[in-house]
């Protein structure tokens, strides 16, 4: 048996089958490259669902984790931690005036956002939250209720009361859905799992105006779009519209589990002592990793690289669109790109993987391409060559 087959045998026997795994066991990663347990090399253009946003095992993050692991790994949130405070300060510097709560994941960050919104609306007996079709907000009971895709809800009913899902990018639908019980609108500026659907600028501006008029909170789920993915540290900066609450996770810690809920100064003290908590949230070791991630993005010019390489990647994909008539549309912003096909994308996805390129296929016909912010032109050229060869098999 190969090493991969031996690992798979243990999974089949001991690990719950909650994931459709691709049959690869990775053993090592560096930058944009992964190696499996049997030594095969892969170019990673979908690094850990965008978690390894600055590449695998970035030297600054590795050094920060190693140093902190020898000093203090965890301390209870009943006490203060200088690194957690520094990380909150860094997030607020790049986001907007306010405060931060730390958890372990995107679902946790979104749960905190929902609790904050409900607490904010409790005095006026408002609790309903409007979310969008094709959205994805996590796998907890509240977050599958918030998510605008029926496939994640099946078998888990009854779901939590108080969520209303409407079409994306439709301001009239939002206005029609608002009732006297509505307290918040929750939206991904660019839907990731939903198929790289970017919100229109006028739509986001309309949501902000509506929230201001109705005293509702605007929640941006930036779990996938944050940390430079769209060429700005946070995607909301592309729209020049500030949310009341923003949620972060995935690439914030470059691979260590961390989530964050950012609330504006006006509402940041809504959740008080005893109303919310997370045992591991914002521990010294994950805070060190996240601070190192910010440092890498700031000092290595990775926002500019995301914009430049995103434009180069889009240009190359537009070339494939001219060559293959089943490529219908190239969409997204900077290094968060979707290739919409008129056919099922599974065969192309599988062919890319066989040839050593990792991408993703979502919604059946959208190739999701999100390389690390450190990607170079030569990496993109290699990836485009593989995608072209894979498309030629159709």
Active-site amino acid positions = 136, 221, 250
Structure tokens at 246: 């923003």
**What is the C-alpha to C-alpha distance for residues 31 and 56, in angstroms, rounded to an integer?**
5
Q: Rounded distance, CA 347 to CA 248, Å?
A: 32
Q: Please tell me the number of Cα atoms within 13 Å of 271 on its side-chain side.
A: 23
- With beta carbons less than 8 A apart as the criterion, state whether 327 and 321 touch: yes
CB 264 within 8 A of CB 98: yes
Q: Name the nearest CA neighbour of 250 among 214, 200, 208, 286.
A: 286
Helix axes 377-391, 346-354, angle to 10 degrees: 120
Tokens of 129: 């939250």
Q: Which residues contact 16 (CB under 8 A, 6 or more apart)?
A: none
- Distance from C-alpha of 293 to C-alpha of 53, rounded to nearest angstrom: 9
For 334-373, where are the E strands, in sequence order? 336-341, 357-358, 360-362, 366-369
Backbone angles phi and psi of 103, in degrees to 5 = -125, -150
Beta bridge partners of 221: 247
277: nearest Cα among 78, 64, 38? 78
Beta bridge pairs of residue 360: 368
Provide Rg for the chain, Cα atoms. 21
What sections of the chain are H helices per DSSP?
3-14, 59-69, 82-94, 106-122, 141-146, 171-177, 201-214, 284-299, 302-323, 346-354, 377-391
Tell me if 247 sits within 8 A of 262, measured CB to CB. yes
């Amino acid at each position: 048996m190969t090493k991969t087959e031996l690992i798979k045998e243990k999974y089949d026997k001991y690990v719950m089958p909650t994931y459709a795994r691709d049959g690869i066991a990775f053993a090592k990663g560096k930058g944009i490259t992964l190696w499996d347990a049997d030594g095969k090399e892969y170019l990673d253009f979908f690094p850990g669902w965008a978690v390894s946003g600055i590449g695998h095992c970035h030297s600054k993050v590795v050094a920060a984790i190693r140093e902190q692991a020898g000093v203090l790994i965890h301390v209870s949130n009943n006490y203060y931690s200088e690194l957690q405070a520094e990380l909150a300060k860094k997030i607020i510097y790049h986001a907007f005036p306010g405060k931060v709560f730390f958890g372990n994941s995107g679902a946790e960050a979104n749960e905190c956002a929902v609790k904050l919104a409900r607490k904010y609306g409790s005095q006026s007996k408002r609790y309903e939250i409007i979310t969008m079709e094709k959205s994805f907000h996590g796998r907890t009971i509240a977050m599958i209720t918030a998510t605008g895709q029926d496939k994640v809800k099946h078998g888990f009913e009854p779901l939590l009361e108080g969520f209303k899902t409407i079409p994306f990018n439709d301001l009239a639908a939002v206005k029609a859905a608002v009732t006297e019980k509505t307290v918040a609108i929750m939206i991904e500026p660019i839907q990731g799992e939903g198929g790289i659907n970017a919100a229109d600028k006028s739509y986001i501006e309309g949501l902000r105006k509506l929230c201001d008029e109705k005293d509702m909170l605007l929640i941006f789920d930036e779990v996938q779009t944050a940390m430079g993915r769209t060429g700005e540290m946070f995607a909301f900066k592309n729209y020049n519209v500030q949310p009341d609450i923003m949620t972060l996770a995935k690439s914030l810690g470059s691979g260590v589990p961390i989530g964050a809920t950012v609330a504006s100064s006006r509402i940041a003290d809504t959740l008080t002592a005893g109303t919310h908590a997370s045992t591991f949230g914002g521990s010294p070791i994950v805070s060190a990793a996240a601070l190192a991630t910010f440092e890498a993005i700031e000092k290595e010019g990775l926002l500019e690289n995301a914009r430049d390489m995103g434009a180069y990647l889009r240009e190359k994909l537009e070339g494939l669109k001219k060559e293959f008539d089943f490529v219908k549309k190239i969409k997204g912003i900077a290094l968060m790109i979707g290739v919409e096909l008129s056919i099922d994308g599974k065969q192309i996805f599988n062919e890319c993987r066989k040839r050593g390129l990792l991408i993703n296929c979502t919604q059946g016909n959208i190739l999701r391409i999100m390389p690390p912010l450190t990607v170079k032109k030569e990496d993109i050229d290699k990836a485009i060559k593989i995608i072209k060869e894979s498309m030629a098999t159709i």
